[in-house]
Amino acid sequence: MIKTIILKNRPEGKPTLNDFETIEHDDDLSIEDGEIVLETLYVSVDPYLRGRMSAAKSYVEPFELNKPIHSGVIAKVLESKHDNFSDGDYVSGMLDWKTKQVSNGKGLQKVDPTKADLSTYLGVLGMTGLTAYCGLTEIGKPKEGETLVVSGAAGAVGSVVGQIGKILGLRVIGIAGTDEKVALLKSKFGFDAGINYKTTENMKQAIAEAAPDGVDVYFDNVGGPISDAVLFNINKFARTVNCGAIAVYNNTDLPKSISVRPFLIKNSASMQGFIVSNFEDKFPEAIKALSGWLADNKLTYSETIVEGFENIPQAFIDLFNGKNKGKMVVKV
Ligand code: NAP
| 239 and 180 within one domain | yes
| 194 and 87 within one domain | no
Note the Cα 329 to chain centre separation in Å.
11
Q: What is the pTM of this model?
A: 0.97
The answer to whether residue 283 sits within a structural domain is no
CA of 244 to the centre of ligand 1 (A): 7
Cβ partners under 8 Å of residue 87, min gap 6: 77, 78, 79, 80
Pairing of strands 36-44, 327-331: antiparallel
| 31 and 88 within one domain | yes
pLDDT at 174: 98
What are the backbone dihedrals phi and psi of residue 161, each rounded to the nearest 5 degrees, phi first? -55, -50
Query: Rounded CA gap, 21 and 23, in Å?
Result: 6
pLDDT at 27: 83
The answer to whether residue 76 sits within a structural domain is yes
Where in 122-277 does DSSP place strands (E)? 147-151, 171-176, 193-196, 215-220, 234-242, 270-273
Residue 148 contacts residue 176 (beta carbons within 8 Å)? no
Query: Rounded CA gap, 97 and 309, in Å?
Result: 8
Residue 299 contacts residue 188 (beta carbons within 8 Å)? no
CA torsion sign, 117 to 221 to 288 to 194?
negative
The answer to whether residue 284 sits within a structural domain is no
The answer to whether residue 25 sits within a structural domain is yes
Where in 26-153 does DSSP place strands (E)? 36-44, 70-80, 90-96, 100-103, 109-111, 147-151
The answer to whether residue 325 sits within a structural domain is yes
| 140 and 269 within one domain | yes
Q: What is the pLDDT along the chain (332 residues), one digit of tens a residue?
A: 999 999 999 999 999 999 999 999 998 899 999 999 999 999 999 999 999 999 988 888 899 999 999 999 999 999 999 999 999 999 999 999 999 999 999 999 999 999 999 999 999 999 999 999 999 999 999 999 999 999 999 999 999 999 999 999 999 999 999 999 999 999 999 999 999 999 999 999 999 999 999 999 999 999 999 999 999 999 999 999 999 999 999 998 877 778 999 999 999 999 999 999 999 999 999 999 999 999 999 999 999 999 999 999 999 999 999 999 999 999 99
For residue 221, the domain's CATH number is 3.40.50.720
Pick from 186, 193, 198, 185: nearest CA to 158:
185
Give the 3-state secondary structure of residue 116: coil
> Alpha carbon of 176 to those of 5, 52, 143: distances in Å?
31, 25, 24
CA torsion sign, 49 to 51 to 55 to 56?
negative
Note the Cα 178 to chain centre separation in Å.
19
Residue 269 contacts residue 237 (beta carbons within 8 Å)? yes
pLDDT at 59: 84
Q: What's the one-letter identity of residue 161?
A: V
pLDDT at 57: 83
| 264 and 135 within one domain | yes
CA of 281 to the centre of ligand 1 (A): 24
The answer to whether residue 290 sits within a structural domain is no
Q: What is the largest CA-CA distance in the chain?
A: 64
CA of 85 to the centre of ligand 1 (A): 34
| 265 and 136 within one domain | yes
CA of 297 to the centre of ligand 1 (A): 25
For residue 322, the domain's CATH number is 3.90.180.10
Q: Which of 221, 227, 241 to mutate to test the pocket of ligand 1 (most atoms within 8 A of CB)?
A: 221
| 258 and 136 within one domain | yes
The answer to whether residue 221 sits within a structural domain is yes
Give the 3-state secondary structure of residue 209: helix
| 271 and 164 within one domain | yes
* Residue 244 alpha carbon, nearest atom of ligand 1: 32
Tally of domains within the chain: 2
pLDDT at 217: 99
CA triple 41-91-246, angle to 5 deg: 70
Residue 46 contacts residue 324 (beta carbons within 8 Å)? no
* Residue 198 alpha carbon, nearest atom of ligand 1: 48
pLDDT at 254: 77
| 101 and 211 within one domain | no
Residue 325 contacts residue 183 (beta carbons within 8 Å)? no
Query: Rounded CA gap, 244 and 47, in Å?
Result: 9
Query: Rounded CA gap, 328 and 332, in Å?
Result: 13
Query: Rounded CA gap, 205 and 226, in Å?
Result: 12
pLDDT at 257: 78
pLDDT at 282: 98
| 268 and 157 within one domain | yes
* Residue 273 alpha carbon, nearest atom of ligand 1: 41
* Residue 128 alpha carbon, nearest atom of ligand 1: 43
The answer to whether residue 133 sits within a structural domain is yes
| 133 and 99 within one domain | no
| 172 and 233 within one domain | yes
Residue where one domain finishes, among candidates 261, 277, 293: 277
Query: Rounded CA gap, 232 and 249, in Å?
Result: 23
pLDDT at 213: 98
Domain ranges, residue 261: 127-277
